[in-house]
Structure 1
Amino acid sequence: MKITEAKVIVTSPTRNFVTLKITTDEGITGIGDATLNGRELAVATYLSDHVAPLLIGRDPANIEDTWQFLYRSGYWRRGPVTMAAIAAVDMALWDIKGKVAGLPVYQLLGGASRRGLSTYGHASGRDLEEIFDSIRAEQEHGYTAIRVQSSVPGITALYGVAAQPQASGERYDYEPAQRAALPAEEDWDTRAYMRHIPTVFEGVRNEFGPEMILLHDGHHRMTPLQAAKLGKSLEPYDLFWLEDCTPAENQEALRLVRRHTTTPLAIGEVFNTVWDIKDLIQEQLIDYVRCASTHFGGISPLKKVMDLAAMYQIKSGFHGPTDVSPVGLAAQMHVGMAIHNFGLQEYMPHSEKTDAVFRQSMTFSGGLLHPSDTPGLGVEIDEDEAAKYEYANAYLPYNRLADGTVHDW
C-alpha cells in the first residue's frame, strides 16, 4: 500500500480548522488535525508546500519511520507549526492503520484500560450567583468535575468567563479568537486576581460541598512566586488541579512553586515536544500532563510521554478545547483509553456546524467520553460541508497591564 494523495482542508464552521486527509492506492483514507489557533494558515502552508509532497509513495504502515523522517530531515526542529503539521500526518496514519486492521486506534495502542474517559466541564460567571448557575448547568449536562473561572473586580474582560461581551454563548463553547484584522486588547491586574480567586472557591465549596471535583486555570499569568502564593491560598478548597500557574518554558521555575504548595499542578498545553516537559516530569514538579495531540506531534509522541510520566505517578490531563478539532480530540481520546495513567480529559462540545463538518461516532454519557469502536479514529470529514465555510482571519486577545506593558494572555 502506498500514499497517493495528501490534501490540506481549511474550513471555518464558527472557528478555523486545518485538516490533513491522506489517501492510499487502495482507497483507504485517514485524517489528522493540524489546527493552530490564530496561526492556522502557517500550518496549512507548511503541510501543502513542504510535507505533503514528501508523503507521496510512502508506505502508510510505517508510522514511526515517517514521524522520525519528518521531524529529523527538516533540520529545523520543534515549534508549534512544525509539530502541528507532523501531528496531522501521525493521526492520519494511525487512522488508516486502524481502518486496515478493522479496529479502533486504542486497540492498537494496547487495548482499553477503562470503560470511558472521565471529563471536566467549564463553569464561569461574573459573580458567585452566575458561577453557581453555571456549575449547575454543567452538572445537568453530566459533568462531575468542573473547571471554575471568574471575573475579577477591576478587570474588564478575563479569560474563561463566558458571560462577558466577547463570548457568544452562556455555556463555555465560544471562540475567544475574534474575527478581525488585529487582536483585541484586554487588561490585567495580578494582585486583584490573586485576592479574588480564593474567595470564589470559598463560595463554591460552601455552596456545593467538599465532594465536587474543582479545577482552575491560571493561564500562565503569574510569576513563580505569585503562583506559589495562589496555590497555597487555594489549598483549603482541595482543587483537583491548578492549571498553567506560571509560564513553564523555564522548567526550573516550578521547583519554587512545588516547594511552597501542595495544590496539584497541571501544565503542558502550549508544549510541542517531550523536551519542553521532560524536567517537569523527571523532577516530579507537576501532577498532570496537559499536552494536546494536535500540538505535540500526534498520537505517537503523546503515548511515549505518558509512558515516561507513568514512571513518576504523573497522570494525563490532555488539553481539549474547541480549537482542537474533533479529529485531534479523538486522537488523544484513544491514547487516554489505552494508557494506565489517565487522569482527566477536558471536553468542550463543538458547535453544530463543526459537528456537521466532522462526522463523529464518539459518545458522552454520565460524564464519560468514549471514542467508539469504529475502526480508526472514528471521525470523518465531510468535504462538501467543509467547503461551505471559508477561512476567516481571527486572533486571540492579548493583555496589557495598567501602565501599558504587554502581559501574558
Structure 2
Amino acid sequence: MKITSLKLYKVRPRWLFLKIETDEGITGWGEPVVEGRADTVKAAVEELKGYLVGRDPLKIEDHWQVMYRGGFYRGGPVLMSAIAGIDQALWDIKGKFYGVPVYELLGGACHDRIRVYSWIGGDRPHDIAEEAKQRAQFGFTAVKMNATDEMHYIDSFSKVQAVADRIAAIRDALGYQMDVAIDFHGRVHKPMAKVLAKALEPYHPMFIEEPVLPQNNEALRDIAMHADIPIATGERMFSRWDFKELLHSGYVDVIQPDLSHAGGISECKKIAAMAEAYDVVVAPHCPLGPIALAACIQLDACTPNAFIQEQSLGIHYNKGSDLLDYLKDPAVFAYKDGFVDLPKAPGLGIEINEERVIAADAQGYEWKNPVWRNVDGTVAEW
C-alpha cells in the first residue's frame, strides 16, 4: 500500500481537515491546524508531502521521525501541527487496514468510557450560573470557563472579586455536583495570577488552566505555593522536549497536550507516558473539530492517567458550524452522564461527510483571534 495524495480542506468555523489517500482505496483523516493560522499550517503540510507520497502509510513512526528530524529547524506550533494532522490520518489508515480502533493498536483500552467537560461563558465570561445549570440538565458533570477578560500586570482587585463571585454563583446553584475548571488563558500575569489563584481556593476548582503563559512556567512554583488548587497547562507546548522540564519541575498536576498541535497521536502518547512517571494526569486540549476529538478519545482510551476530555460542542467559537456537522453519524459522540463511550469502528472511529467538507471548503472562512488592549492602550493577552 502506498500514499497517493494529501488533500486539504479549510472549513468553518476555524478548522483545517486533511485527507490522505492510498492506492488501495483506504483513506485517513486528520486535523492539522493552528487556530487563526490555518493557511500557514496548510502550507507546512504541502511542504511535507514529498516525504510521504509513494511511501507505505503504515510506517507511522518512521514518517514521524523523518518529518520532525528531516529538517534542520524543527518544533514550534506550525510544523508540529502539520505533523500532528498527518499523524492522525496515518493512524486512521492503519486502524482501517487492520479493522480495529486505533487504541487497539496502542495497547488496548484501559477505560470503559471517557469523562468529558463542556465550555460555558464565552470569551468574556457572563451568565455563568445559568449556563452551568443548562449543562447539568444535559448530563454534564464538569464545565470549564474563562476566568477574566483583559487583566494588566497589576490590576484592580475588583476583577479578581468578579471571578470569585461568578464561581460562587455556580456553587450556590449546583453545589459540588458540578466540577468547575477555570481557564486563566495566559491572560493573567504572575503578580495577579497568585492573587487570583488564592481568591479561588475556597471554591475548590477542578483545576486552574494556564495561570501564566508557558514561556513563564517557572512562575508555577510561586502560584503552587500560594493556593492548593491543581495546576494545568500545556496546550501551547508542542513536543515531549517542551514538556520535559515542566514535568521535572513538579509544579504541574494536569498536562493538556493538543493532539492537533503537539505532533499527533504518536507524540502525545509519549508525552502522556512521561507524565505518568511523574504522577501527573492528562486532559487533552481540544476546542477543535470532530477529527481532533476522535484522535483524543483514541489516546484517552489507552492512557491510564487520562482523566477528562475537552470537547467543543456548543463552544463560543463554533459560529456557522459545530462539532457534529461534518460527521455522517453524529451519534458517535453521544454524551451520557458526563461521559462518552469508546468508539468501536476502525481507525479514528468516525466517518466524515466529505460532500459537506468540500462544500464548506468552497465557501472558505477567515478567523483570527481578537486583539485586546488594556485601559492604558497596551496590548493585552487574549
Give the match for residue 8 of structure 1.
8
SS for the counterpart of 1:84 is: helix
Q: Which of the numbers 396, 401, 405 marks the counterpart of 2:369?
A: 396
Check if 1:330 corresponds to 2:327. Answer: no
Give the match for residue 338 of structure 2.
367
CA–CA separation in structure 2 for the residues paired with 1:346 and 1:336: 11
Check if 1:340 corresponds to 2:304. Answer: yes
Give the match for residue 235 of structure 1.
201
Q: Deviations over 1:122-144 (max 9, x none)?
A: 23389999322211110111100
Give the match for residue 54 of structure 1.
51
- Whether the aligned pair in 2 keeps the contact of 1:91 and 1:299 (CA below 8 Å) is yes
Give the match for residue 296 of structure 1.
262
- Whether the aligned pair in 2 keeps the contact of 1:363 and 1:371 (CA below 8 Å) is no
Structure 1 124/387 Cα, relative in aligned 2: closer, same or farther at 3 Å? Answer: same
Check if 1:97 corresponds to 2:94. Answer: yes
In structure 1, list runs of 5 or more residues that go unmatched: 153-157, 159-186
Give the match for residue 24 of structure 2.
26
Deviation larger for 290-299 or 132-141: 132-141
Structure 1 66/128 Cα, relative in aligned 2: closer, same or farther at 3 Å? Answer: closer
Structure 1 129/98 Cα, relative in aligned 2: closer, same or farther at 3 Å? Answer: closer
Structure 1 129/51 Cα, relative in aligned 2: closer, same or farther at 3 Å? Answer: closer
Give the match for residue 122 of structure 1.
119
CA–CA separation in structure 1 for the residues paired with 2:308 and 2:264: 19
Q: Deviations over 1:141-160 (max 9, x none)?
A: 1100122446x7xxxxx4xx
Q: Deviations over 1:202-253 (max 9, x none)?
A: 2322332234311111111222232122212211111110111111213322
Structure 1 149/77 Cα, relative in aligned 2: closer, same or farther at 3 Å? Answer: closer
More helix by share: 2
Seq. identity, %: 34
- Whether the aligned pair in 2 keeps the contact of 1:16 and 1:391 (CA below 8 Å) is no
SS for the counterpart of 2:351 is: strand
TM-score (norm 1): 0.85
- Whether the aligned pair in 2 keeps the contact of 1:333 and 1:370 (CA below 8 Å) is no
Structure 1 230/383 Cα, relative in aligned 2: closer, same or farther at 3 Å? Answer: same
CA–CA separation in structure 1 for the residues paired with 2:123 and 2:56: 53
Q: Deviations over 1:161-185 (max 9, x none)?
A: xxxxxxxxxxxxxxxxxxxxxxxxx
CA–CA separation in structure 2 for the residues paired with 1:305 and 1:88: 17
CA–CA separation in structure 1 for the residues paired with 2:166 and 2:4: 55
SS for the counterpart of 1:277 is: helix
Structure 1 126/396 Cα, relative in aligned 2: closer, same or farther at 3 Å? Answer: closer
Q: Which amino acid aligns with 1:327?
A: I
Structure 1 304/206 Cα, relative in aligned 2: closer, same or farther at 3 Å? Answer: same
CA–CA separation in structure 1 for the residues paired with 2:237 and 2:260: 11
Q: Which amino acid aligns with 1:23?
A: E
Check if 1:144 corresponds to 2:117. Answer: no
CA–CA separation in structure 2 for the residues paired with 1:93 and 1:106: 14
SS for the counterpart of 2:45 is: helix
The offset of 1:23, in angstroms, is 1.4
Q: Which of the numbers 326, 349, 369 marks the counterpart of 1:378?
A: 349
Structure 1 207/380 Cα, relative in aligned 2: closer, same or farther at 3 Å? Answer: closer
Check if 1:358 corresponds to 2:324. Answer: no
Structure 1 345/126 Cα, relative in aligned 2: closer, same or farther at 3 Å? Answer: closer
TM-score (norm 2): 0.91
The offset of 1:327, in angstroms, is 0.5
Give the match for residue 39 of structure 1.
37
- Whether the aligned pair in 1 keeps the contact of 2:115 and 2:338 (CA below 8 Å) is yes
SS for the counterpart of 1:358 is: coil
Give the match for residue 274 of structure 1.
240
Structure 1 407/130 Cα, relative in aligned 2: closer, same or farther at 3 Å? Answer: closer
Q: Deviations over 1:86-122 (max 9, x none)?
A: 0111111110110111110111111111121111112
Give the match for residue 17 of structure 1.
15
Deviation larger for 377-386 or 70-79: 377-386
- Whether the aligned pair in 2 keeps the contact of 1:362 and 1:371 (CA below 8 Å) is no
The offset of 1:356, in angstroms, is 3.6
CA–CA separation in structure 2 for the residues paired with 1:126 and 1:381: 29
Q: Which of the numbers 75, 78, 83 marks the counterpart of 2:80?
A: 83
Give the match for residue 108 of structure 1.
105
Q: Which amino acid aligns with 1:47?
A: V
Structure 1 212/297 Cα, relative in aligned 2: closer, same or farther at 3 Å? Answer: same
CA–CA separation in structure 2 for the residues paired with 1:295 and 1:249: 17
Q: Which amino acid aligns with 1:31?
A: W
- Whether the aligned pair in 2 keeps the contact of 1:22 and 1:92 (CA below 8 Å) is yes
Q: Deviations over 1:311-354 (max 9, x none)?
A: 11111111121xx2210111011111111001211122166845
SS for the counterpart of 2:217 is: coil
Q: Could you say what the CA RMSD is over the residues aligned between the two structures, in angstroms? A: 2.2
- Whether the aligned pair in 2 keeps the contact of 1:43 and 1:81 (CA below 8 Å) is yes
- Whether the aligned pair in 2 keeps the contact of 1:123 and 1:134 (CA below 8 Å) is yes
